[in-house]
Structure 1
Amino acid sequence: MQINEQEYMVLTGIIQSRSGLYFDKTKEYYVCSRVAQRMKVLHCVSVDDYLKIVKKDSLFHELDILIESLTTNETYFYREINQLTTCIQDIVPQVMKKKRSELSNTLRFWSAGCSIGCEPYTIALLLKETVSGLEQWNVQIIGTDISNKALEYARQGIYSEQLIKDVPCLIKKKYFREVSHKKWETSQDIKRMVEFKSINLINEEQVSSMRGFDFVFCRNVIIYFDKDTSKYVLNLMYDSITDGGYIFLGHSESISRFSDLFKLQRINDSLVYHKTK
């Protein structure tokens, strides 16, 4: 497939406007490989033909299919587990204590850019196994992603052995069942704890519908945005977090580059960002 610089800039600009995803020239091979697959399906002779289809589609059907093919990111259960453990073991009890004093029994978690659901299900597993008296609380875990295909996968809750390889054996026995050769399904108890929604993080109206979260996980997401988009998304998320709430980013990400709205804290060698009043 041949693509010139102008076509690449137009195409990646359209992708960024729709999803926030930023692909510079270093990602050209990756982007073009996905575009070539779509061109083959649609019998396009040239990139220009494909661009015409994308531009004419007022409902963004083809563009969304392309974006879905570009957002297949690395994910698995218990990824960057130390940070999650710090949250559930050390921070959640403090938040619960504060909420009890306010006569509240609701805990809300948002896993943004959750892909196929490994992260929100991991949060559910850790809460189940770690927090005593959890049944007395109204626990809400929302997993969101721009990819409807990924969300449908998440709702089914069936994963390969590779994706659950880091789940401790006892937890695996307790909360998973083998449904076919090397395919494992999460238990109904865990599935019931998590709700999945389609949210585009650069869509202000959609993000504005996400309010009152004590914990937001936006891990390994903003690395796919440019600086301006990252700042925009983090500012939107600020309003989604309760006063005293927390946001968690991936190990290679930092809020301080884009926003001074959160206070950086180090807890058990994990970096967390606290929304103070």
Structure 2
Amino acid sequence: MTDEDFRRLCEFLYRRSGMVFTEARRYYVERRLSERMRATGTPSFASYFARLRSDQSGEVEPFINAFTVNETYFFREEHQLQCLSTDLLSARLKERPAGRPIRIWSVPCSTGEEPYSIAIWLLEHWPQVDAFEIEIIGSDIDTRALEAARAGLFGRRALMRLPEALVAKYFEPVDDEHWRLIADLRQSIGFSTVNLVDLAQTRAHGRFDVIFCRNVLIYFDEASRRMAAENLYENLLPGGFICLGHSESMSRISPLFEVRRFADAIIYQRPGERGDG
């Protein structure tokens, strides 16, 4: 790639996903590009980029998939799960109209560890779990990751933080290195594709009581972070909460949210009066 080719490719990726890649990550970009060119049998950057821009054979989707990061594991940042069951859900129940389900969104959900972790945590740690209808949705821009999430097959590294008793309770061994989540749990989570900087896509998912959006905004620039934050604000019910990764701060991104300090975690809240959720 020439410098101009690199600029055009990164600009295209930014417009379609919000992800920012600078010269410092040029080798990573070129390696992923080479993989897609080989996979599609495209001989030159010019012909591949033309293919991307016209989206021949649906190439945009696998191209974006090639650049996503799916490093995750069960019970990651467990203190936020503790805060969910100790503080956040009780606060949301005070504003919940009769008959409305509690809605929790994991975005991006990668290969499913986070939404499945939320389900397992609530089953194990929230005494009221059987008294309410709970809807957990996992969404991601990476369609390959979503296929893996639906399959519910995980390796030893993904399960490294789970107590052995929970692995035995919620997973079935496939071989010495892989376990599959039990069918009841796999079927309890809905999965969908979403681009956080696309308002139409985020809005289509409706509003939630709690959103987990961890360790993705660090890959965005200031403008796309602000756009994603505004979209997520629209996806929260008044009084709803959003959990970010430990290195992320909504206070530096958007003034729309209030900072809430609980015993286990710092969480961000969409303002709202009691009874308007």
Specify the TM-score bucket, using the shorter chain as the normaliser: over 0.9
Q: Aligned equivalents of 2:56 and 2:103: distance in 1?
A: 36
Question: Offset at 1:104?
Answer: 4.1
The sequence identity of aligned pairs, in percent, is 34
Q: Look up the match of 2:52.
A: 54
Structure 1 residue 128 and structure 2 residue 123: aligned?
yes
Q: Aligned equivalents of 1:228 and 1:179: distance in 2?
A: 44
Q: Look up the match of 2:258.
A: 263
Q: Look up the match of 1:65.
A: 62
Q: Aligned equivalents of 1:79 and 1:213: distance in 2?
A: 21
Tell me if structure 1 keeps the 8 A contact 2:61–2:143: no
Question: Offset at 1:207?
Answer: 0.9
Task: Name the SS of the counterpart of 1:136 in structure 2.
Answer: coil
Candidates 221, 230, 243, aligned match of 2:225: 230
Candidates 1, 12, 36, aligned match of 1:14: 12
Tell me if structure 2 keeps the 8 A contact 1:82–1:270: yes
Tell me if structure 2 keeps the 8 A contact 1:139–1:193: no
After superposition, give the CA deviation of every residue in 1:167-197 in whole Å (9 maximum; x if it has no partner): 1111111111102231111122322321001
Question: Offset at 1:72?
Answer: 3.0
Candidates 206, 210, 216, aligned match of 1:215: 210
Tell me if structure 2 keeps the 8 A contact 1:213–1:240: yes
Q: Look up the match of 1:190.
A: 185
RMSD across aligned positions (CA): 1.6
Equivalent position amino acid for 1:54 in 2: L
Question: Offset at 1:110?
Answer: 0.4
Q: Aligned equivalents of 1:57 and 1:173: distance in 2?
A: 45
Candidates 119, 142, 149, aligned match of 2:144: 149
Candidates 10, 25, 28, aligned match of 2:26: 28
Structure 1 gap segments, 5+ residues each:
none
Q: Look up the match of 1:92.
A: 89
Structure 2 gap segments, 5+ residues each:
273-277
Tell me if structure 1 keeps the 8 A contact 2:88–2:241: no
Question: Offset at 1:57?
Answer: 2.3
Tell me if structure 1 keeps the 8 A contact 2:70–2:145: no
Q: Aligned equivalents of 1:46 and 1:33: distance in 2?
A: 14
Tell me if structure 1 keeps the 8 A contact 2:82–2:264: no
Task: Provide TM-score, normalisation by structure 1.
Answer: 0.93
Task: Name the SS of the counterpart of 1:219 in structure 2.
Answer: coil
Q: What count of residue pairs does the alignment treat as equivalent?
A: 272
Question: Offset at 1:98?
Answer: 4.2
Question: Offset at 1:113?
Answer: 0.8
After superposition, give the CA deviation of every residue in 1:99-129 in whole Å (9 maximum; x if it has no partner): 3xx4345210000111111000000000111
Equivalent position amino acid for 2:30 in 1: C
Which stretch shifts more, 102-111 or 66-75?
102-111
Task: Provide TM-score, normalisation by structure 2.
Answer: 0.93
Candidates 64, 84, 106, aligned match of 1:111: 106
